[in-house]
A and B are shown apart, each in its own frame.
Chain A
Amino acid sequence: MSNIPLIHFLIVAAALFSIGLAVAITKKNLIGILLGIELMLNAVNLNLVAFSRHDPERLGGQLFSLFVIVVAVAEITVALAIILRVYGQFNTVEPDRIDELKS
């Protein structure tokens, strides 16, 4: 297990983060933007886990990524509830067409 260099994990995580950023920017749907954010959080977790390999006594990186997962789950539930409310109000989930405070 230990013969995979650290650099490979970091490059893969950088690629995943960039793709997640592109998804979050280019998608025309609120849920698509959420998919991109989840992808970026996963890439960050991969970085933390890869560094935590060299700290087997305390495992600070793995604990941190555990908390990142918790925060991501809380964020996604609240975001989906807000998206459902927005859909009930505006009948659309495209952020380009939601341009009124009161409809």
Chain B
Amino acid sequence: MELIAFYGFAFLAIASALFILLSKNLIYSAFSLFLTFLGVAALYVLAGADFLAVTQIMIYVGGVLVLLIFGIMLTQQTNKGAHSSTSNRIMAESGRRFPGFALALLCFLFFTYVILSANFRIAGNVNLSKSTIKTIGVELMTSHLLPFEIAGILLLVALVGAAYLALNRNPTHE
């Protein structure tokens, strides 16, 4: 039963990731990235990481994806009307397409070879009967306290830096 759910969600994640790769429209790519994130969150649940699944949905779907769609809309919208004022662009097929696909395929084959030949010997036994929230909270406050604080400072720095960078300092745009 869980194996069927696993295959379903894995298929959802990989199929929507392939749609990102093949679609021309960036908005469609962003929305199928949403499906990929949901599929990966479901895989987290199947791996016993309930807290991380909720975190994934809240941060990626609620924050990152909204930000990406805002970015796409802010940078795509006025591109259409500006074409007449500039010189004609010659649209050519991107030369990166075939090398990118070939490199990704080689990468995947190499990973599969490494995984299949690794022959992992797992020491601990799988015990997933309880929630992981308590363990994560205790670990964050005891043995991982320094990375936790550094993450807080990093988020503050990123907030200040992004706000400073996004300020419109160009007088012609005002």
Contacts and interface: CB of A to CB of B under 8 A. Distances in A.
Interface in B133-174: 135-136, 139-140, 144, 147, 151, 154-155, 157-159, 161-163, 165-166, 168, 170, 173
Pick the most buried of B64, B82, B116: most chain A CB atoms within 10 A of its CB: B64
A2 B136 contact: no
- The size bracket of the interface on A is 35 or more
A73 B155 contact: yes
A58 interface: yes
A72 to B, nearest CB: 8
A80 B59 contact: no
Contacts of A26: 21, 94, 96-97, 100-101
A38 to B, nearest CB: 7
A1 B46 contact: yes
A98 B149 CA distance: 37
Interface in A1-28: 1-4, 6-12, 14-23, 25-26, 28
B104 A4 contact: no
Interface in A47-63: 49-50, 52-59, 62-63
B112 A11 contact: yes
A45 B36 CA distance: 13
Contact of B173 (A8, A46, A88): A88
Interface of A: 1-4, 6-12, 14-23, 25-26, 28-29, 31-32, 34-36, 38-39, 42, 45-46, 49-50, 52-59, 62-63, 65-67, 69-78, 80-85, 87-89, 91-93
